[in-house]
Amino acid sequence: MAGFLIKRILQAIFVVIVVTLTVAFAIRMTGDPALMLTQGAGSVTEADLERIREGLGLNQPFLVQYMNFIKGLFTLDFGRSFLGGTPVSLLIKDALPATLLLAFASMAVSIIISIPLGIKAAVSCGKWADQLIRILSLVGLSFPNFWLATMLVLLFAVGLQWLPPSGMDGFASFIMPAVTMGIILTATNVRLVRTSMLETLQSQYIMVARAKGLSENKVLYKHALRNCAIPLITYFGLQFGGLLGGIVVVERVFNWPGMGTLAFDAVSGRDYPVLQASITVLSLMIIGVNLLVDIAYGLVDPRIRTE
């Protein structure tokens, strides 16, 4: 197991280096923040722009800027925002918990719905329940997340006035954004659970378990579900990582104070430190999730550790 972990950790470190280099280079190709900061300031000379670049550290070579960023990454010092002067670490400290809470709530909604529905569809393969669940999942896949979010706001916030339309204030504010993302995720997860369960239910040990007189729920949830856990762990883990990166649209619709909103505002203002730190933190979290998925592989299936 130790060799397996070391190999995965070294791979993760390599990916971190590639991601941070790519992000740092791509962000600096988007434009000159000194020009953006002086828009509407009247007559600005090249000397003025150079002084701004020097004050922001933009006149240094790219590799020097990158190494400074990596040093700051270890000390959680990402510099200050170009626009407000606020330490970037404080902005991330405020935004990251909001995104994580929303992501966990969305995944919880999806898992709670998709696993029972996927098992029901597999057990009822070819019957009306299976057909209905598959049709509903296809309908769910057809909904763009921004459209579904807007419809929920119009219905439950504007029309019925049951839920707050935006912001993060109490349990009620989580319902619409979590349900929006949860429905989109469930549409895919139901099909995955159904496919995995169909393969598992045809195995000999399932027939033996039923022949021993075990209850159907014990057969399905203790034996079958556990033995098809690897593809589910894989997909749920990757899905959670993708959710962190793709949640920006939902955060904007619901004015959610998370990392997506922070990164979007940084793009609009070409706020390099905030944008670079936001993307890097999200990337590190996605890499961390993938690493945890690999470790879970080794814990669930000893064959993977041996390989």
Question: Cβ contacts of residue 197 below 8 Å, gap of 6+?
Answer: 118, 119, 122, 123, 220, 224, 225, 228
pLDDT band at 298 (very low <50, low <70, confident <90, very high): low
Output the DSSP codes for 112-172.
HHHHHHHHHHHHTTTSHHHHHHHHHHHHHHTS-HHHHHHHHIIIIIIIS--S-SSS--STH
Percent over 90 (pLDDT), the chain: 0
Tell me what the mean pLDDT of segment 198-216 comes to.
77
Assign 3-state DSSP to the chain and report helix, strand, coil percentages, each to 5: 80, 0, 20
Total count of residues recorded for the chain: 307
pLDDT higher than 80, residue 223 = no
pLDDT band at 169 (very low <50, low <70, confident <90, very high): confident
pLDDT band at 37 (very low <50, low <70, confident <90, very high): low
| pLDDT score, position 294 | 72
CB atoms within 10 A of CB 281: 23
Question: What are 41-53's pLDDT values in tens digits?
Answer: 566 677 767 777 7
pTM confidence score: 0.75
| pLDDT score, position 299 | 67
Tell me what the mean pLDDT of segment 153-163 comes to.
86
**Virtual torsion, Cα 217, 221, 227, 233, nearest 10 deg:** 160
Q: Which of 43-47, 106-110, 161-165 has the lowest mean pLDDT?
A: 43-47
125: which 2 tokens? Answer: 């393969």
Residue bearing tokens 């992000």: 23
277: which 2 tokens? Answer: 């730190």
pLDDT band at 301 (very low <50, low <70, confident <90, very high): low
Question: What are 240-290's pLDDT values in tens digits?
Answer: 777 776 677 788 888 888 888 888 888 777 777 888 888 888 888 888 877
pLDDT higher than 70, residue 39 = no
Percent over 70 (pLDDT), the chain: 88
Query: What angle (nearest 5°) sits at the alpha carbon of residue 275, between those of residues 271 and 34?
Result: 20
Question: Cβ contacts of residue 174 below 8 Å, gap of 6+?
Answer: 101, 102, 105, 168
Which amino acid does the sequence have at 271? D
Question: Cβ contacts of residue 305 below 8 Å, gap of 6+?
Answer: 1, 4, 298
CB 116 within 8 A of CB 217: no
Report CA 248 to chain centroid distance, whole Å.
10
CA-wise closest residue to 115 among 26, 210, 194, 5:
194
